[in-house]
Amino acid sequence: MDSNELKNLANKLRYMALEAIFCAGSGHPGGALSSADLITYLYFKEMRVDTQNPHDPDRDRFVFSKGHACPILYAALAEKGFFPKDELKKLRHIDSFLQGHPDLKHTPGIDMSTGSLGQGISAACGIAMAGKKQHKNYRVYTIVGDGEIQEGQFWEALNFAHKYELANLMIILDYNGLQIDGTNEEVMNIDHLKERFSSFGLNTLEIDGHNFAEIEQAFRQAKNCKDRATIVIAHTVKGKGVSFMENQVGWHGKAPTQDELNRAKAELEVA
């Protein structure tokens, strides 16, 4: 799949996620759209997963630490074939296995229950540690939110990843700059990230999180780094792909109307 195909697929997943949120009447579109290209790359270019054997002990793992953005992950899993796409329209419904935040017990393809910020990265460290202890060659990926790194536990996890040289772990920061109460700067500064992460002893990369060539290069560099965990600062746009949602704090956690969904569909050029 080339960059153009990935881009089109990512936009398709964006629409599927927005439609799911519309059907649910609630959810988190902004952060789902900012993660869309990264998730698309993971599931359609990078990860070894088997929809027929979702618990394969040798599979690559993905932990969506910013679990509230899960509609985009659900869209990717449905597109991949872990469950029927019709299930997406039942997101957050009483009879659905698609919970408001990822639930590993009931949703095929989910590797870790997340939603309480700061915890997914620690779980990813645990899975990476298990891989080392059990001499497995799977890789572990996690996407964390930028607001999420205000949690102290995030930094505890970085210490752990460094101490145990979790080279099989790749942490991706979805750096869209916005969180519920405003910009990162307004809420709690998270500046000098490259310096901070480097000082934790991590292989630190910085990319445009919507540029597939840069994403691909980062994944290659992470894989080639054999002695350290990698963290990628992926600069993204909250609400990416839908003009009226882009860089709007208000789209962190509300569902689109039917009209807004139609406009989004047109902008995303989804058939």
Partner 1 sequence: MIANREAYGNALVAIEPEHKNLVVLDADLAAATYTKIFRDKFPDKFIECGIAESNMMTVAAGLATAGMLPFVSTFAVFASLRAAEQFRNSVCYPHLNVKVVGTHAGLECGADGATHQVLEDLAVMTSIAGNTVLVPATPIATRELIKLAADYVGPCYLRVGRDKVNELYSETTSFKIGGSHKLRDGKDVAILAIGSRVEASVKAAELLKEKGINASVYDMYSIKPIDKAAIKEAVATGHIVTVEDHSVYGGLGSIVCQEVCALNKPCPVSVIGVNSFGRSGSAKELFTLFNIDVEDIVNAVLKQLN
Residues that bind partner 1 (CB under 8 A): 57, 61, 63, 103-105, 111-113, 115-116, 118-119, 122-131, 133-134, 136, 152-153, 156-157, 159-160, 163-164
Q: How far is the CB of 63 from partner 1 (least distance, A)?
A: 8
Question: In terms of CB distance, is 156 or 208 closer to partner 1?
Answer: 156
Strands (DSSP E) found in the chain: 61-64, 140-145, 169-175, 178-179, 182-183, 203-208, 230-235
Shortest separation between residue 167's beta carbon and partner 1, angstroms: 16
CA atoms within a 13 Å half-sphere pointing along the CA-CB vector of 169:
31
CB of 49 to partner 1, least distance (A): 14
* Shortest Å distance, C-beta 131 to partner 1: 7
Q: Say how many C-beta atoms besides its own lie within 10 A of residue 50's C-beta.
A: 12
**By C-beta, is 110 or 237 nearer to partner 1?**
110
User: What count of residues does the chain have?
Assistant: 271
- Residue closer to partner 1 by CB (options 34, 230) is 230
**Smaller CB distance to partner 1: residue 44 or 200?**
200
| Six token digits for residue 119 | 């915890």
Q: Specify the residue, 43 or 138, whose C-beta has the smaller distance to partner 1.
A: 138
66: which 2 tokens? 């910013």
To partner 1, the closest distance from the beta carbon of 247 in angstroms equals 30
Token readout for 271 is 């058939």
**Residue in 154, 158, 67 with CA at minimum distance from that of residue 110:** 67
Q: Please choose, from the candidates 186, 177, 193, the residue with its C-alpha nearest in 3D space to the C-alpha of residue 252.
A: 177
